[in-house]
Chain A
Amino acid sequence: MTVHKGRGIAAIEYPTGMNQNGDPSQAWIKVKPDGRIDVFAGTSDIGNGSKTIQSQIVAETIGVPYEWITYDNSNTDSSPVCTGTFASRATFVAGMAVKKAAERVRERILDIAGKELEIDPADLDIVDGEVIAKGSPQTKISVPDVAAAATWGHGELITGAGAQLKPYAAIVEPETGKVDLPPHSAISYASCAAEVEVDDETGEVRVTRLVQCFDVGRAINPTLVEGQIEGGAIQGLGLGVLETSYPYYPGMEHRGGQFGSYLAPGMEDLPVMDTVLIENPSVDGPYGAKGIGEMANNPQPPAIATAVHDAVGVWVTELPITPERVLRALQRKAAGEGEPTRKGKLIVYDEELSLAAVAHPDAPVRLVVDA
């Protein structure tokens, strides 16, 4: 028995927002008489942290402490439309909606502060919960005092609404797939290196280290985005080496129906993880942010498959890379099989998995390559 080490890399991209757009998010905000801020948005928090991220965006945009924000996404009577938490859209698309709503609120606070201070609102700024005169910071009024003045003095409600919608990108040439507009809000990028140990007797693949560099545009909350990247990596590890709903598909037997009969990654499977954030701001996202929630589980499977090849010299391109698949590949290799077919300049891997090998000879779908 020998344990072989290997390393593989992958580089990926992933779009932010629903493919082809047309997915609105809306939000509205009201200010309490003491200046505390109530945000109403319809964005489900599925553990991705959108309540936190959107609260941070609102605090930053208005210019008040994060602790002043109350975030309510609890029901559709009080919250406006959000298409949903999917397509890596909660930070970017829904985040833009709360940012626009917060910009309106900020304008209203400055208007009323201007009346109180008898200064043109354009000459005012909001910093840490205080409205200050630009260039004359001793001239100021607190946001709580502005809110009180609005409520009890001016008889006004400080509120703001915002919506984000990128128009639907139509496929104008179905034959070529050409679209009339960019079909995404932004594109994020990431690279990953996987280090593995492969046991050539048991076929077991152990992922020992994952190094990951993600361009997040702007980390609204570095702790949460690192959590997304590391949590996603574990899901990618599961897809790569452990998980399958139907272990012998197209056979239907042995489908796991409980945690004990379905192999998801456990604590003992966790590799060492190094996470590097790159901030290459998006042109029009909130504070330059991009969405990276989904892509966090994309680069590991190919990096692992490549690392397995680096370790033991076999390519396993059916996932998951189970001990059984590794051992079968090693057996074929030992028997001098499993090498790609070479015809002139054409190099064909995995022929036995292809439609050409499995489908009926008269079936119309094939990969046709003229070498």
Chain B
Amino acid sequence: MKAVGARVPRYDGVAHVTGRTVFVEDVEIPGVAWVKALRSPHHHATITKLDTRPAEQMKGVRAVVTAADVPLNVYGHLSALGIPGDEPLLADAEVRYLGQPIAVVAADDEQTAQAAVDAIEIEFEERPALFDVRKAFDPDAPQIHQWGNWYPHFEAGMDRRQIRKGDIDAAFAQADVIVQGVYRPAAIEQLPLETQVCQVVPEANGRLTIYSCTQALYFSMGVVAAHLQQPLNKFKFVGGTVGGGFGGKVDTATETLCSLLALKSGRPTKWRWTREEEFLCSSTRAPWHMEMADAVTKDGWILGRRMITLHDSGAYARFSPYGVTKHAFHHTGAYTIPNLHFDGWCVFTNRTPTSAMRGFGVTSVSFATETHLSRIAEELGIDPFELRLKNANRIGDTSPNGVVYTDPSTVPTILAIADHLGHELPADYRTMTSEPRSDGLLPEHLVAQVGNPEDH
């Protein structure tokens, strides 16, 4: 039997549906200490007093860890990609979002750990917070981040991700119609059934065994090793079977702090976030603010697009610059738009930091582009299938950043759905393929813009 193409059952499906899969939470470790976090009750504040001694003196408390205990408190998870770090593992001088961790406690049981957290003496001075990305650039906007209100570390010190292609002014001058709109998808939860959870065992040989629900074992191991300033052979990550992630378990949420507590207390540690913590303190999908204007001809050719995007990164950068770059690279969707002018910013707000979620960077622009194309089709009185087929990217066309498409299939997927719906199309659309345009649909005066690169 051929294995590829076969509908074989899921490798661990029976174990999943009979409750026999061992997830991180199911690993029983004798003597494990429970972990709880002291979290910021404010959206933005200066910490004016932090005294953990009342917690440390409580019976059953095994260790308390604050920023002072972390060998490298600020570590950029994407420093290898040139994205520097901005987020402390534990807040020290300042908190920037509701729920930000400030201290963690390990105690003999969950109740004692929570009581110890409550016993920590802390005082704040509240500061003005920024929530609406559209007000981040205002002269009177509260300043909320050490880098300013938006990320300033793209290549060559640029404060935005840019795409420039073709001659945008000519495209807008040549257009018969310009359609402009605003698109704003919301922050949503990744919503895995398994909340953030981890257990760490300090082994007799000095290593740490880390039971982790990470989506990325080696990536997370690198993050923990960097914060602890230890080589990789100090750690054994155990995991690989995750109760849902959807992007929310790429950031390393629990492993480093559990490791620090295990090292400080000499005890195994366990941190299982409550459902409420999962909702309120873990990263969300980013909300995006997108404005686009398309220069179109009355017969439906999209000649150019001007677009600005504000990505709401929340309080820290995390993977946001990566998401904005990916967004920029794909901001024309499945179409060839020859003239482009795109600016995208990672804007900081006092929201829970946003990060990866299924479709990172592109879910937003798929919504904007496709809703926008539907509006254009309506404005021009053109069949929405035909408008899309006309502008679909073809073999040899180039992407926003100049990459030649070798195997696009916008045309076949649109034809397939038209066929499935029984939607009638004229013969020259019905027979369209992804091959370079030679079907006479493209008017002569647009060939230099919309045609294939070898044509001009």
Binding site for B on A (CB under 8 A): 8-15, 19-20, 22, 42-47, 49, 51-52, 55-57, 59-60, 65-66, 71, 73-77, 79, 81-87, 128, 171, 174-179, 182-183, 186-187, 189-193, 211-215, 218-224, 232, 235, 238-239, 243-246, 249-252, 255-259, 262, 264, 274, 276, 278, 280, 282-283, 287, 293-299, 301-303, 305-306, 309, 315, 317-320, 345-351, 353-355, 358-360, 362-371
Contact = CB atoms under 8 A, between A and B. Distances in A.
Interface string B361-375: 111001111110011
B379 interface: yes
Interface stretch (B87-95, B103-111, B253-261, B415-423): B415-423
27 contacts: A10-B374, A11-B417, A12-B333, A12-B334, A12-B370, A49-B11, A51-B10, A51-B11, A60-B3, A76-B235, A175-B164, A177-B162, A183-B401, A190-B413, A239-B185, A239-B186, A296-B358, A306-B384, A309-B374, A346-B180, A348-B181, A351-B182, A353-B182, A354-B182, A358-B134, A362-B139, A370-B172
A354 B291 contact: yes
Interface in B224-241: 232, 235-241
A82 B240 CA distance: 11
A114 B135 CA distance: 72
A287 B5 CA distance: 10
A340 to B, nearest CB: 8
B401 to A, nearest CB: 4
A9 B134 contact: no
Nearest first, the 8 A-B pairs at minimum CB distance are: A84-B216, A302-B370, A250-B131, A73-B240, A360-B138, A59-B3, A350-B182, A174-B155
Contacts, number: 431
B363 A298 contact: yes
B175 interface: yes
Interface string B394-432: 000000111101111110111011001100000000000
A355 B134 contact: yes
Interface in B173-203: 175-189, 191
A257 B4 contact: no
A315 B184 CA distance: 12
A79 to B, nearest CB: 8
Interface string B325-361: 1101110011000000011010000011000101111
Interface in B136-171: 137-141, 154-156, 158, 161-165, 169
Interface stretch (B54-62, B68-76, B243-251): B243-251
A301 B370 CA distance: 9
A171 B155 contact: yes
A25 to B, nearest CB: 9
A235 B246 contact: yes
Nearest to B412: A278
Interface string B295-307: 0000000000011
B247 A86 contact: yes
B245 A177 contact: no
A75 B360 contact: no
Interface stretch (B45-53, B113-121, B263-271, B275-283): B275-283
A310 to B, nearest CB: 9
A174 B218 contact: no
A177 B401 contact: yes
Contacts of A294: 358-360, 362-363
Nearest to B132: A250
Contact of A245 (B10, B284, B306, B322): B284
A46 to B, nearest CB: 4
